[in-house]
Amino acid sequence: MSAAPRTVLVTGAGSGIGRAVAEAFGAAGDRVVVADVNRAAADEVAAGIGEAALAVTMDVTDRASVVAAVAEASERFGPVEVLVNNAGLAGGGGPLIDLPAEVFDLVLAVNLRGTFNVTQVVGRQMADSGRGRAIVNVSSIGARQPTPGLGHYEATKAAVDALTRTAALELAAHGIRVNGVAPGPVHTPMTAPLMDDAAARGAWEARIPLGRIAETGDLTPLVLFLASDQARHITGAVVQVDGGQLLV
Ligand SMILES: NC(=O)c1ccc[n+]([C@@H]2O[C@H](COP(=O)([O-])OP(=O)(O)OC[C@H]3O[C@@H](n4cnc5c(N)ncnc54)[C@H](O)[C@@H]3O)[C@@H](O)[C@H]2O)c1
């Protein structure tokens, strides 16, 4: 159990990393808002966590949806104290010279504008309530290391890292810390098709000094740490969890 339960909002919490993060906060005794555009998935995750969880429908690309979901969450649990901006997608892939502009726009809307939308709405509430503690953004090592076919995705994550640093500077006066977690490849529903392909999986594994693809449980301790008062002097950092992939 954490010292005192906090109200924690996790976006994209219906699947993969977001789901594992929501469950970890729930296990630590916090009140968890399971926010996802996929309401059925959010309901299932919230039901698994129990009484201390609330599922809300939130499309991070749609400001009105974000405002409504945050209002619903606050009515039930009080103002948000910890935010995890996790919702994101790659939307497929392809070389930049062939990538459909629609894919670029979709990934930009979810990963970057979505992070901006939720940071703005929740950050404003955090500043006004005086209860805000921490924001953790889920980035990717792709922000710092290119992989052919993922340029559109990597550009959004590099921009998320820039938002992380600026938000950390701007919100410091309110006592709100803003950090990022940058995973390498992780086993989740997003990457399942890739991981099921032995050749593709082997190519990813060959890039990782520690020799394996991450599980979601490799990420959750860092997210909980960055959100906790133990990380009270850490802000504006983006920490990789990649088995050493950025070293090579
Ligand atoms: N899996 C990896 O290898 C990996 C690596 C680095 C970074 N990441 C990042 O981790 C985060 C989570 O990825 P994952 O692998 O768990 O993916 P996932 O597909 O398993 O889960 C993503 C969740 O986000 C939700 N979502 C999508 N669009 C949304 C929107 N507009 N509004 C609200 N929710 C929305 C989906 O419904 C889904 O529940 C993403 O930001 C991703 O870029 C993943």
Residue 8's SS3 state is strand
At 194, the pLDDT band (50, 70, 90 cuts) reads confident
Nearest CA to ligand 1 atom 32: 59
The number of the ligand 1 atom at minimal distance from the alpha carbon of 65 is: 32
- State the pLDDT at residue 2: 53
pLDDT at 63 over 90: yes
Alpha carbon distances (Å) from 104 to 92, 93, 100, 228: 10, 10, 7, 34
Domains of the chain: 7-241 (3.40.50.720)
Whole-model pTM: value is 0.98
Read off the pLDDT of residues 173-192 as tens digits, 9 standing for 90 and up: 999 999 999 999 999 999 99
Pick from 125, 108, 119, 131: nearest CA to 168: 119
Look at strands 134-138 and 177-183 and give their pairing: parallel
Read off the pLDDT of residues 74-99 as tens digits, 9 standing for 90 and up: 999 999 999 999 999 999 989 999 99
Q: Are 49 and 30 in contact (CB under 8 A)?
A: no
CA of 129 to the centre of ligand 1 (A): 29
pLDDT at 224 over 70: yes
Per-residue H/E/C for 76-111:
HHCCCCEEEECCCCCCCCCCCCCCCHHHHHHHHHHH
